[in-house]
Each structure stands twice: as C-alpha cells, then as structure tokens.
Structure 1
Amino acid sequence: MSTEYTEKTARRDAAEPLDLPRSRAANERLHALIPGGAHTYAKGDDQYPEHLAPVISHGSGAHVWDLDGNRYIEYGSGLRSVSLGHAHPRVTEAVRRELDRGSNFVRPSVVELDAAERFLATVPTAEMVKFAKNGSDATTAAVRLARAATGRTRVALCADHPFFSVDDWFIATTPMSAGIPTDTDRLTVTFPYGDLAATETLLDRYPGEIACLILEPATHSEPPPGYLAGLRELADRHGCVLVFDEMITGLRWSEAGAQGLYGVTPDLSTFGKALGNGFAVSALAGRRELMERGGLRHSDERVFLLSTTHGAETHSLAAAMAVLTTYTEEGITARLHDLGERLAAGIREAAAAMGVDDHLIVRGRASNLVFATLDEHQRPSQEYRTLFLRRLLAGGVLAPSFVVSSALTDDDIDHTIEAVADACAVYRKALDATDPTPWLSGRPVKPVFRSRA
C-alpha cells in the first residue's frame, strides 16, 4: 500500500464518522516492522481509540495532517518537544544553514562552543553543559555522576513523576521490568512530591547511602511554598546530589527552566524536549565541580559521563540555539501561558455547561495542561478517556493532552473549545447511562506502563 498523502479536507465536521483506512493499513505495517508500532510507547496506537490512531503525513505550525487527508489541531506536539510549532521558520533556517557545512566531525565543531555558551547564558544557574540526543542519556549520566561524586549507590526518585529514563535504574521500578535483573530495583528508592518530612525520613532510613534526589521540580501543580528550597537544604545536610529533571519544565516554565522561575539551584539538571523544537538534542548541566568529574582537568577517578557519536550534530545544536534565541527575543514562555490560560478557561466553561466539570478535570501549569477523565464514581477511567478522545478526533483535535504550542491561533483555541463542548455532551449522556461502552466502538485506551501487552 502506498503511504502517499492526499489532502481531502481542510477541517473535519464532527458530525461525520471518522474513518482512517490509510492510517489503519499503515499501523498494521508499522506493527509488522517496528515493535509496538512506534518508536516511543506514548505514541503507540494503544494510546488512542481502536482504529482511530492517525498516522501523520506532515505538520505545519499547530496543525498536522494524517495519511487519510484529515487535518487536526495538535496538542502535546512531539510529546511536548515541539513548543514553537512544526517547521518553525527560524529553527528550520538555522538547521538549513548547517546542513551544507557538514554535521559531524572527528573533532569538536565551533557550533558546540557556540551552543554551550548560548545555553549557559540562558540557564545561568549552571556552570557547564554537555549535550546528548535524548533525555534518558542525560538523566542516567546525572545519576552516574552523583554516584561517583558521593561514593553511594542508592538513587531516590520522586514516585509521583511518571518517567525519568529508559535505563534499568528507573525501568526496574515500573510494571515493565522484564529483562532487568531482579535485584536492580533495590538500589532505587522513592519519595513523595511536596512532602519534606517523608523525604527526610527516607534519608534517615538509608544514612550515607543515597547518592541523589531526582525529581521534576514541578508538574501538574505548583511546588508547595518552600518545598524546593527545603529539598536543597536536605540534600546539603545529607550529602547527596540534588537533580532537577527539566525535560518538561525547561523553557516552558521560564527560559531558564523551573530553577530560574523558583530561584532554587540544583547541583545537576537535565533539559530536552522544547530545547530542539523536535530536533534531537538534550543537555546535562550543573555545577563545575561535579561536571568536571566527567572531563580531563581533575585528579579524581574518571567518570564516563556522556560520550555519544551524534551528541553534537551541528544541525541539532543550531536548532537549540535558534530555539533559545526565539524564546528570549519573542517572549514565547509568556505566550504559552496566555494560550494555555485561555484554553483551560474555555474547556472548564464547556465542561460546566454540560454538567461534567466534576469528571473532566484540566490541571497543570498553563503552559503544560493535561486532563483527567473520571467516571460516575469520580475514579480515573480509561473508558471515559476513550470516549473523550474519539469525539475530539472527530472534531479535528488531536489531544492526548492540552499542552499548547506557540503556533496556536485564537481560531484554533475557539475550535478546540467547540470540539470539547461536543465531547462533553456525549460524556454527559454516557454518565447518565452509567455506561460509556456504546460510545467506545472498540477497546479502551491503555496505560503505557503495564506488565502485559
């Protein structure tokens, strides 16, 4: 089957049944060739209603088109990585300039120097930076560095945050731990977000054993007053390294990340996602004393920190510099918050008008909105999520979350709110019937982390 794209509609009419024959056929081919049918589990077709997982042809700005010619307003683009919109001209032009100059050499390119200077000027709480291609490499490097610097083996991670790395130290703690030695997870312990007393109890339970505390500095809620500063004090007092995973908060919270917004400096931090606007680039940054342990100018035992063949591809670093410049010069973070606030207010109003505001919950910082779907007993429900996603897709909205990009227009927001209102009307009918099954048309969507396929 050809996967050639043919546009057939500018925007779907929600009254029409959504049929995706080309996408269905492409999904079958994807599963035949790629385990899971996607290169990221969160992009799997099991995350979408059955037979309604679009395969994307291309994107522009805040819109994407599938193989069947349907256009969607897209949220959470690239799993939050495309915050400026697809094919942003400033970014693509910066990349294009490097493509004819070579992308990878046997020695560092001057672009590596330029990118490091630009990053550290934007995130002044860090003193050194090393680039990589994905977030897992950066967080695992932070953990290795913390273990080397402290001589300790245990890692304490925040149990309320969903993902840190594909590597064993984290995946061993999830239901998908197959293939990982059974004793690996004993070296990883957890603490709850926002609870300093519980974290101190954990540190006291393992005196002199915990190398680092690693967490996202903020997620669906603001950190309690004094919480991050309290973690800083606990880490100092117990001699462990404080690591902020800023994959999501970096740039979206402020140009300098959550650490810049809240005024608490971690020992190490990791950035990615928005940093490249879809191009593969991540960063480990932090205090010189720690970072230099992975370098050549010290007398301690060497740490194999990050060493990646493609970590400093010139076009990806050029993309990162263009993103950082665009954020600082065009006030992108503020725009993301303005768009998110308008969208959240409209969704809540639409849900309230249909009487489902206790069941469709929008939460998170305005630049990083997510939603929860609750059943008639106020319990999280994959069935109601499926119903909601089906109606959004029918209305031309692709929204596994409501995470905005700066490319969204007022018309896009208005259309999204209309699609949400339509979905909420069906949601209400299902609640009244106490059974969403008639509106599912197939199996419910599934959680990413589960022990069986």
Structure 2
Amino acid sequence: MPSPKTDNQSLSQRLHAVIPGGAHTYSRGDDQFPANAPALLERGEGAYVWDTHGNRYLDYGMALRSVTLGYGHPQVNAAAIAEIAKGVGLTRASMTELRAAERLSQLIPAAEMIKFGKNGSNVTTAAVKIARAYTGRRFVCVPRQHPFFSFDDWFIGTTAVKRGVLEDHSAPTLVFDYNDINSLRALFDAHPGEIAAVMLEPATHITPCGGCDGETRWPETPCHACPNRGGNFLHQVRTLAHDNGALFILDEMITGFRWHLKGAQHFFGVEPDLVTFGKAMANGFALAAVAGKAEFMEVGAINKPGMERTFLLSSTHGGEMPALGAFLAAVDICEQQDVPAHLWSYGQKLRDGLAALAAERGLADHFVMEGPAVAVNYVTRGTDGAPSPLLRTIFAQEMLRGGVMMPWISVSLAHGDAELDLTLTAAAAALDVYSRALETDPADFLNGDAVKPVFRTHN
C-alpha cells in the first residue's frame, strides 16, 4: 500500500492530468496549501472534513466560505432532496423559484427584484451590465484592495493575470483605493458623465468605519446605530456615485448572511442600488443572485412593451430547484438560530485565543490577528516586519499536523467549544514551531513550497 505522502502525489498528478489547475477554483489549488495538506477530500460533516485515508481535519476553509451552517446540514439536505424529487429543473419557472425570490426580497429591502445564477462571477458581471444598460455609460469602478469580483475579462484584466484577456474588455474598469474617497473622486473628475457604477464589498478584514471607536461595540451596536455613520466610507461612496449619476453596487458574496441576516448593508445602514449574493446563501449549494431596486433590475424585463431589450442573465440552471430549496431552508435556520450572532461570538473567542497564544511566545508583532470578529484574518510577519508567505505556510503546515485545516478563517454554526479547544491546542504547538523558525532560518521548517498568490503572472 502506498504511503499517504506518495498517494497524495499520485492523486495530485491525476487531478492535474484531467483538470487544468487541479481544481475548479484556483483557491483550491496545490499552490494555496502546504505540502502536507490532503490532495483530495472525501467528505465533510459539521465543521470537519475527511481525506482519502480517513484522516479527519477541523476545517476553517468551509468550502471557500460558502458553508455557514456546517457540512451536510440535515435540514438543508432534506430540503434539497425534496426539490430533487420534484424534477430538479422544469420547462418553465417553478414555484420554488418564486418562493425563493420572494423570500430574498422580503428579507433584503434593496432586493425588490432578483435574478438567480450558479456562481458569483456571473451575477457580478450581470450587475455591471445592468448599470451600463440603465445609465448608458461605459466605466465601472472597483477597489484594488478587494481581490476578486469575477472571472470575466472586465475584472480579470485589472489583475496581474492578463493572458487570454482582450485589453479593451478590461479598459473600462477603473481602480480606486478602499477607504480613500478622494481616489474615487479623482476617477469621477477624470471621466465626467461616463461612469456607470461603483462596485465594492461592504467590508473584508478592512472595515469602512475608519477606526471609529464604535467598532469596539460590534455587533451589539452595529454601524447603522452609530451617530457617526455619515463618515462611513460606504455612505461616502454612495453619495459620490449618486451625485454623479452612477449606481452604487455592493458585492455581498462573502459578507451576506454572515455580518447580519440582512447583510452587511443592514449592519452598516447603507442601501445599495444593486447587490450580489452567493456562497453562504445556500450553505454550499451552487446558488448566486443579483438583486436590486426594480427601477434598475427591470432593464432585463420582457413585460414592458416597446422597451429596448437587455440580455441579462439567461441560465438553464439558474432556477435549479435543489439549490433554491437549500436556500429557503438555510435562511430559515439562519434566522431561527441567529447564526450571525454565533459567527461573531466564536470569531471573537478564536481571535482572542490566537492573539493570546502569540503574545505568550513573544510573537505579537509576527503573528497578528486583524479584522472584526466576523471576518478575522491572521497575518504572518518575518523579522523584517513584512508579510511572509513562507511563515504563513509553516503555520498552516503545523496546524494540519494538529488536525486543523486553516488556510484562512471562515467560521460556521458547527464550530463550537470543542472545536475552539482543538484549534487552540493545535495553534499552541504550531506557534512553538513558528517561534523557532523565526529565530533561525524559516525555510528549514518548511516541508515543500510556500503558498503563492493566486494573481501572479507565471506559475
């Protein structure tokens, strides 16, 4: 029988032989994980995943942040199975489509109309098309600090990975800096009357509040209840966009159903013209949506006689019923059990615990926890104070030895006290190795290659 390491290499070779990149998302690629990470996973349940040798790992990747309730949630699965029995996808729109659209519309005030899709890239591109169709303008603005909006050329052409992209397809995409309203204002000044929309995530580990002391009271006192919210960057962007006749688009692919049941837009008290959702909305089932005010969404309508047509989203599987049934079940659970509150609470305990372990070892300046509790991130810094992919790989490598897969931090309802204890036990051992690596040559502690950025020009 081959050893796990040899078998891992064999599985990786088989993957790359038939799948470009070895996975269907570049974030799942070999170059994003330590060498001791399993090449393939067999299954997931709750907060855990199992590899092909039956080894169990506590998971913080949670299917690229798409699973908020836990893998294989029985109520969500039952809802999807019930829709499978109805035929999966029908020749005309289904009652399930209608119920799902109405549920999202009732939940999110800005979502007066909805178009469903199967992935985030398609719905963000649809949002851009809606804005261009409505305004008759060419340009769209996105922040350089937000790493991914779409695999389509309009966005990918702004990254380092330009091969195969037509330059004129990405030329109308303008880049500004998050939390720097003057950088966005400069784009409007340079292109008067030509910008269709500004699209951005509400927040990542970087928040739009500019260090306001109100952040210390999150989530009990969300930003929408803060008297200083007028200085919030999202509010500034919305005002600037509207003053210049452009639409304000929020990409809630990651923040949606995490920051608040009604989205980060509700948490920050700002209403978008258009909004995109995906990932967590169906607990891992393939579902995404572009939604917004009817005034803008109706550019894709067919019941407006004489109106010029916009070919918006037309997807055979956009109305696929199992994913929509999963969404209906997931949002009910999210509401009934206040899942966002759990994500905030667990995230706070995890952030505090990891920070304390780092401080105990004199690593407070080298292993840094950043971001709010619901979007916590860890940063690994070398002796020069610069972010170190090598040290990040060492930490992830050692966490795997302790049975914890932590390529990034994404928390679910299935993460509880036992999972927190397991995580902190693994982290204590990992940070011991991390400390020794800092004192000598970190490369001596790494088995294999360091992780690499997804957006790079060459392999």
TM-score tier, shorter chain, comes to over 0.9
- Aligned to 2:379, what secondary structure does the other structure show? strand
Would you say the 8 A contact 2:130–2:299 is kept in 1?
A: yes
Letter in 1 for 2:174: V
- Aligned match of 1:173 in 158, 163, 167? 158
- Aligned to 1:183, what secondary structure does the other structure show? helix
Greater CA drift, 45-54 or 380-389: 45-54
- Aligned to 2:188, what secondary structure does the other structure show? helix
Structure 1 residue 95: deviation in Å? Answer: 0.8
- Aligned match of 1:227 in 233, 241, 252? 233
- The alignment-based identity, stated in percent, is 46
Structure 1 residue 416: deviation in Å? Answer: 0.4
Aligned pairs (5 A) from 1:34-73: 34-73=19-58
Asked whether 1:28 is paired with 2:13, we answer yes
Would you say the 8 A contact 1:49–1:445 is kept in 2?
A: yes
- Aligned to 2:167, what secondary structure does the other structure show? coil
Q: Which residue of 1 aligns with 2:276?
A: 270
Q: Which residue of 1 aligns with 2:361?
A: 354
Aligned pairs (5 A) from 1:373-392: 373-392=380-399
Asked whether 1:289 is paired with 2:274, we answer no
Q: Which residue of 2 aligns with 1:77?
A: 62
Greater CA drift, 365-374 or 327-336: 365-374
Deviations 1:285-336, CA, capped at 9 Å, x for gaps: 1010100110113343211111100001110000011111111111101011
Q: Which residue of 2 aligns with 1:239?
A: 245
Aligned pairs (5 A) from 1:133-172: 133-172=118-157
Partners of 1:75 and 1:101 in 2: CA distance: 34
Q: Which residue of 2 aligns with 1:303?
A: 310
Asked whether 1:425 is paired with 2:432, we answer yes
Would you say the 8 A contact 1:22–1:68 is kept in 2?
A: no
Q: Which residue of 2 aligns with 1:97?
A: 82
Q: Which residue of 1 aligns with 2:286?
A: 280
Partners of 1:441 and 1:185 in 2: CA distance: 39
Asked whether 1:449 is paired with 2:455, we answer yes
Would you say the 8 A contact 1:173–1:188 is kept in 2?
A: yes
Q: Which residue of 1 aligns with 2:223?
A: none
Q: Which residue of 1 aligns with 2:227?
A: none
Asked whether 1:123 is paired with 2:108, we answer yes
Partners of 1:354 and 1:205 in 2: CA distance: 50
Structure 1 residue 131: deviation in Å? Answer: 0.6
Would you say the 8 A contact 2:38–2:51 is kept in 1?
A: no
Structure 1 residue 208: deviation in Å? Answer: 0.9
Partners of 2:174 and 2:307 in 1: CA distance: 28
Q: Say if 1:54 and 1:364 are closer, same or farther in 2 by CA, change over 3 A.
A: farther
Q: CA RMSD in A?
A: 1.5
Asked whether 1:416 is paired with 2:438, we answer no
Partners of 1:331 and 1:114 in 2: CA distance: 21
Asked whether 1:340 is paired with 2:347, we answer yes
Would you say the 8 A contact 1:120–1:128 is kept in 2?
A: yes
Q: Which residue of 2 aligns with 1:256?
A: 262
Would you say the 8 A contact 1:20–1:54 is kept in 2?
A: no
Structure 1 residue 151: deviation in Å? Answer: 0.9
Q: TM-score, normalised by structure 1?
A: 0.94
Partners of 2:377 and 2:236 in 1: CA distance: 27
Letter in 2 for 1:386: T
Greater CA drift, 267-276 or 255-264: 255-264
Partners of 1:104 and 1:451 in 2: CA distance: 40
Would you say the 8 A contact 2:154–2:171 is kept in 1?
A: no
Partners of 1:240 and 1:450 in 2: CA distance: 32
Structure 1 residue 19: deviation in Å? Answer: 4.8
Structure 1 residue 54: deviation in Å? Answer: 3.8
Q: Which residue of 1 aligns with 2:405?
A: 398
Greater CA drift, 278-287 or 43-52: 43-52
Letter in 2 for 1:260: H
Deviations 1:21-53, CA, capped at 9 Å, x for gaps: 433321111011100100000000111122534
Would you say the 8 A contact 2:36–2:447 is kept in 1?
A: no
Would you say the 8 A contact 2:138–2:194 is kept in 1?
A: yes
Paired positions, count:
437
Structure 1 residue 226: deviation in Å? Answer: 2.5
Partners of 1:300 and 1:207 in 2: CA distance: 27
Asked whether 1:437 is paired with 2:443, we answer yes
- Aligned to 1:248, what secondary structure does the other structure show? coil
Partners of 1:135 and 1:416 in 2: CA distance: 30
Partners of 2:232 and 2:399 in 1: CA distance: 39
Partners of 1:417 and 1:402 in 2: CA distance: 13
Letter in 1 for 2:425: E
Letter in 2 for 1:154: F
Asked whether 1:370 is paired with 2:355, we answer no
Asked whether 1:205 is paired with 2:223, we answer no
Structure 1 residue 367: deviation in Å? Answer: 2.1
Deviations 1:344-380, CA, capped at 9 Å, x for gaps: 1100011111111211122223222222111111111
Q: Which residue of 2 aligns with 1:319?
A: 326
Partners of 1:50 and 1:76 in 2: CA distance: 16
- Aligned to 2:82, what secondary structure does the other structure show? helix
Structure 2: state its 5+ residue gaps.
210-230
- Aligned to 1:341, what secondary structure does the other structure show? helix
